[in-house]
Amino acid sequence: MKTLLALTFAAALVCTSGTLIAQDNMGNMSHDSMSASNAKAAHIVGKISDDGKTFTSDKDGKSWNIDNPDAVKGHEGHHVVLHANVNADAGSVHVNSLKMAKDGMKKDSSM
């Protein structure tokens, strides 16, 4: 009976310490990785700036920093539909893909 109690206590101790270690590792996450987890996938219609570093939404005129400007290379100054992860906290978008907007597309729509 004492052996069973000791084994149960030891197992509970191991499980608890494993949980504490996992929680401690969460505290070590960088701000960027935490911000990335706040991003939401969306389709956004708007214009890419002439330098390719920002995107302005047609819907509300909000300007977003493009965190991966290489993804929009060659589309500077174009009116496009972005398929992107939007991080409102950071004021940025991570472009997954884009296509040229059709004439008359003037609103944002979420996925």
Comparing CA positions, the residue from 37, 64, 47 lying closest to residue 98 is 47
The phi and psi torsions of 93 (rounded to 5 degrees) equal -125, 145
pTM, to two decimals: 0.60
Partnered with residue 87 across adjacent β-strands are 92
End-to-end CA distance of the chain: 58
CATH number corresponding to 39-110: 2.40.50
pLDDT 10s digits, 44-87: 999 999 999 999 999 999 999 999 999 999 999 999 999 999 99
Residue 18 identity? G
- pLDDT tens readout for residues 79-90: 999 999 999 999
Q: Distance between alpha carbon 75 and the CA centroid of its chain, in Å?
A: 22
Three-state secondary structure call for residue 17? helix
